[in-house]
Structure 1
Amino acid sequence: MGRTRTERDDAGRPPAPPAPLASFARFVLFGGGVGVASSAAVALLAQLMPWAVANALITVASTVLCTELHARFTFGAGRRAGWRQHLLSAGSASAAYAVTTVAMLILHVVRPSAGMLSEQAVYLSASGLAGIGRFLVLRLYVFAIGRNQATGRAKGPAPLQKANVTMSPSIPAPALPRDLPLRRTMADSRSS
């Protein structure tokens, strides 16, 4: 199975990752877009079930979607996320889920009759803070392998390169005498 040009450059290396600012802008665009849609979905689902359950369901769905978007566009991998990235991203999303859930629980303790506008403000603020931490985890850890290979910082032995061997014309190669047998057969070795 061949790789596409977007996955490898002319020298066979993965493409260089986008600069940190470009990655962050893409992270905000994709993650923030999905986050705003998730916020609305949580508010709608929370009318049918407990808020924490609605948040958990939406967090799972949005994490899968965001991990794919981040793998393909945000962090320069140019291909689908693998199981490793999904699992590690799920870990960082679990931490974000905990932050948003705790923020909402605190809001409901402090202000039990908080309206949807207050809930959205708290949820989006907590999501934004958790998102910054998530960006750092995803950029520096989850999607860092392709970047390390692209910059030559990958762990393990360096790839073997072809050695250039030259013969000096001033030193002649030794000549073999014509009567020297070059190969002995099994019959010759048994008779000795």
Structure 2
Amino acid sequence: MNGLRLIHRHAAAFVRFAGLGSGVTLAASAALVLLSRWIPWTAANVLTTIASTMAATELHARFSFGHGRPGLAGHLKSAATMAVGWLVTSAAVGALAALRPGAGLVVQQTVYLSATALVGIVRYLVLRLSVFAERAPRPRTPRRPARFTAIPAGPGQ
């Protein structure tokens, strides 16, 4: 495959990844806002991260990378990348709370979504290069011609 076609294919995969990831992230962000009214923010972040990771893994495996259903191993590896992402987003919002205790919802969401964007770029690279890496095509081995053996004719044939 020539270089330009390869760049185009990976750019298209990244655009699909970013679009799907952004949609899932925005839905998770809205859910996070709603849930954090009834439960602590960190718990709400855990719940939305788990749900959004499962949804995003299915979408990315199928549509971003054309890999098909991810299976348990794909979900677990993807979940590992999101566990790190959860730590990063939690640390970012925690740092905001420590530095600006009265920060409003818009500032909190800006910090959360910015951290999530950074996590998303790193996650794309990990998923693309490791979890849902393209399999090298198997070299085609030439088929051996079928061998026919003569069956001796029985009596009367």
TM-score of the aligned structures, taking structure 2 as reference length: 0.83
Partner of 1:84: 73
Shift of 1:160: 4.9
Partner of 1:140: 129
Which structure dedicates a bigger proportion of its chain to helix?
2
Q: Which runs of 5+ in 2 are unaligned?
A: 1-5, 147-157
1:5-44 Cα distance to aligned partner (Å, 9 max, x none): xxxxxxxxxxx9x811011100111001100111111111
Which structure 1 residue ranges, 4+ long, deviate > 3 Å from structure 2? Answer: 158-161
1:82-126 Cα distance to aligned partner (Å, 9 max, x none): 111000000001011111000000000001111100011000000
Partner of 2:98: 109
Partner of 1:25: 15
CA distance in 2, matches of 1:162, 1:28: 43
The structure 1 residue matched to 2:83, chosen from 77, 87, 94, is: 94
TM-score of the aligned structures, taking structure 1 as reference length: 0.69
Q: Which runs of 5+ in 1 are unaligned?
A: 1-15, 153-157, 166-192
Percent identity over paired residues = 45
Matches within 5 A, 1:10-21: 19-21=9-11
CA distance in 2, matches of 1:49, 1:66: 24
CA distance in 1, matches of 2:69, 2:91: 32
Shift of 1:76: 1.2
Partner of 1:178: none
